[in-house]
Amino acid sequence: MEFSEQALVLKVGRFREIDAWVRLFSPVRGGYTAFAFGGMKSRRRFLGCLDPLNHVRFKVRRSGRGGYHCLTEARLLDAPTNLRHDPPRLGMAINCLKFFEAVHIGPQGAADAYALLRAMLAALENASAPAALFPLFFRARLATLHGTFPVCDRCAVCGRPFGDDEAVCHVEAGRLTCPDCRRGGDHGVRQHLAPEALSLLESAVSGDPGAWAACRPDPAAAREFSRTVDLLVRFHLGLAWEQGGFVRA
């Protein structure tokens, strides 16, 4: 069976002397690994295509007794340039991709996840100076796509919109409540969110990645937002950032 589709290149590694394995993510199949035989040497079939973060249209053949994927042709659609030559941007992109791979989005959510990856890379590529909080925004949005992030625009108890009010995040319950509904009920870890921190959370859930890159919040709001995202990701996805990677918490 042979098919053609666009995909993002996530990782590339050497397989034997001149062959390569390529980790891809497509809007149809999600993540999968394919082999590019001769990929470390070929100038005709894979010219400029087999680099991480590239957006490529591949022709893929599924073959062999085990049904492995084999890349037969590739056409480069676009590739980041600013991002690759700016260590802070590249570091943010790698942080986002490591979290993405740790979450394991399946084929059912592949189209939305693919669109998010493309928007994330475009924002980091085009922003004049991406905000340090950018990877936290990405984690919150991906957790929302995964279905493990709370509704952020209204109280989970009374349903009243937060507006300019503060909120409380009940971490284990995975919900936000207004000041009037925060007393009693859930036990465990709670994180206060002032109005600006709550606004950051809402932007992460429904905002544009380009706005994330330009965000320059008050330091106190940034801390509340960051701690809330970290707590929710740790408890509901079981992931924590430690020593340059995401580990099971």
- pLDDT at 249 (0 to 100): 77
- pLDDT at 185 (0 to 100): 59
- pLDDT at 2 (0 to 100): 86
User: Per-residue confidence at 43, pLDDT binned at 50, 70, 90?
Assistant: low
Contacts of 68 (CB under 8 A, 6+ apart): 34, 35, 62
- Residue range 52-82, pLDDT digits in tens: 999 999 999 987 666 789 998 899 999 999 9
Distance CA(92)–CA(25), nearest Å, equals: 19
- Residue range 1-20, pLDDT digits in tens: 889 999 999 999 988 788 88
Say if residues 56 and 77 touch (Cβ distance below 8 Å). Answer: yes
Angle at 58 between CA 43 and CA 51, to 5 degrees: 55
Q: How many CB atoms lie within 10 A of CB 156?
A: 20
* For residue 118, pLDDT beyond 80: yes
- Residue range 78-117, pLDDT digits in tens: 999 999 999 999 999 999 999 999 998 888 899 999 999 9
Domains and CATH numbers, the chain: 2-78 (2.40.50.140), 87-248 (1.20.1440.120)
Read off the DSSP letter of residue 15: E
Contacts of 49 (CB under 8 A, 6+ apart): 9, 56, 58, 74, 75, 76
- Range of lowest pLDDT (65-74, 101-110, 197-206, 222-231): 65-74
Give the pTM.
0.92
The per-residue pLDDT of the chain, averaged, comes to: 91
28-49 mean pLDDT = 83
What angle, 0 to 180 degrees and rounded to 10, lies between the N-to-C axes of helices 110-126 and 87-103? 170
